[in-house]
Amino acid sequence: MTKEDEILLAAEEEFFSNGYDATSTATIARRAGVTHAMVNYYFKNKELLFKQVLDNNVYSLIQQLKHLMQSNKNLADVITDVACTIFDIFDKKRRLPFLLCDISRTHPEFFSPYSEYFDKLFFESMELHQKFLKQRYEAGDIPDCSMRDMYRTIVTLSTAPYLALHFIQNVVGFTKERTEEFLANSRAEMIRLLQARYTVAR
């Protein structure tokens, strides 16, 4: 691993733990075991370093979702695959949902570079599945909904369990074992709900 990679890893850990505003390049340098000057040499300032961390996570997510959302599989399976992918990414990086929510509240401008990518992905998927969705609704096979409704449902179900972690651990008092059980049950319930809602009736 290069020094630049070590700094990026340390930055991700600091941003995930403390958020953007409460993190400094000095704390990142300490975590990475490098000088403050070295952090500035590679990334100039905190904003550019944060944008690199965000790029690494957001573009990775976009690439994974693009393949799934353009699939010709049945709609219920596409929706379930997308939700499970997001859920599993958050499971590997459990502080990422907090960071994304915090940034959307305090620095929404950081998301501007990704808007075009998400819009393109969304509308390509809509074009692929919306006609089928309308046909199935008119036939009475699935409830009335739009692709936009579906994506809101996916984001809610795949993100909410991770946003609840602090509460269930620090307030409710869940142990590590119970936390893992809660997440596993949340994932299974998410799949059950999506399949029950969007599977075409036979």
Count of structural domains within the chain: 2
Buried/exposed code over 32-52 (b: 16+ C-beta within 10 A; e: otherwise)? bebeeebbeebbeebeebbeb
Give the residue with greater pLDDT, 147 vs 153: 153
CATH of residue 4: 1.10.10.60
Pick from 106-115, 123-132, 146-155, 192-201 the range whose average pLDDT is largest: 106-115
Mark which of 24, 44, 64 sits at the end of a domain: 44
Same domain? For 86 and 39 the reply is no
Give the residue with greater pLDDT, 62 vs 53: 53
Convert the pLDDT of each residue in 128-137 to its tens digit: 666 666 766 6
The one-letter code for the residue type at 46 is K
Q: What is the C-alpha separation between 192 and 80, in angstroms, rounded?
A: 9
Same domain? For 77 and 126 the reply is yes
Q: What is the pTM of this model?
A: 0.84
Same domain? For 102 and 21 the reply is no
Convert the pLDDT of each residue in 61-80 to its tens digit: 888 887 777 666 777 888 89
Q: What is the C-alpha separation between 79 and 152, in angstroms, rounded?
A: 11
Q: What pLDDT was estimated at residue 2?
A: 92
- Please determine, for residue 39, whether its predicted confidence score (pLDDT) is greater than 80: yes
Q: Please give the average per-residue pLDDT across 102-130, as a whole number.
A: 79
- Please determine, for residue 201, whether its predicted confidence score (pLDDT) is greater than 60: no
Q: What pLDDT was estimated at residue 116?
A: 75
Q: What is the C-alpha separation between 170 and 15, in angstroms, rounded?
A: 21
Domain span at residue 136 reads: 51-198
With a pLDDT cut of 70, the percent of the chain lying above it is: 84
Tokens 């690199």, residue?
A: 52
Same domain? For 187 and 109 the reply is yes
Same domain? For 35 and 109 the reply is no
- Please determine, for residue 202, whether its predicted confidence score (pLDDT) is greater than 60: no
- Please determine, for residue 200, whether its predicted confidence score (pLDDT) is greater than 80: no
CATH of residue 176: 1.10.357
Torsion of CA 60, 62, 65, 71, to 10 degrees: -120
Same domain? For 100 and 10 the reply is no
| Phi (first) and psi of residue 145, to 5 degrees | -165, 165
The chain-wide mean pLDDT, for the chain, equals: 87
Same domain? For 15 and 109 the reply is no
Tokens 């992918």, residue?
A: 85
Convert the pLDDT of each residue in 148-188 to its tens digit: 777 789 999 999 999 999 999 999 999 999 999 999 999 99
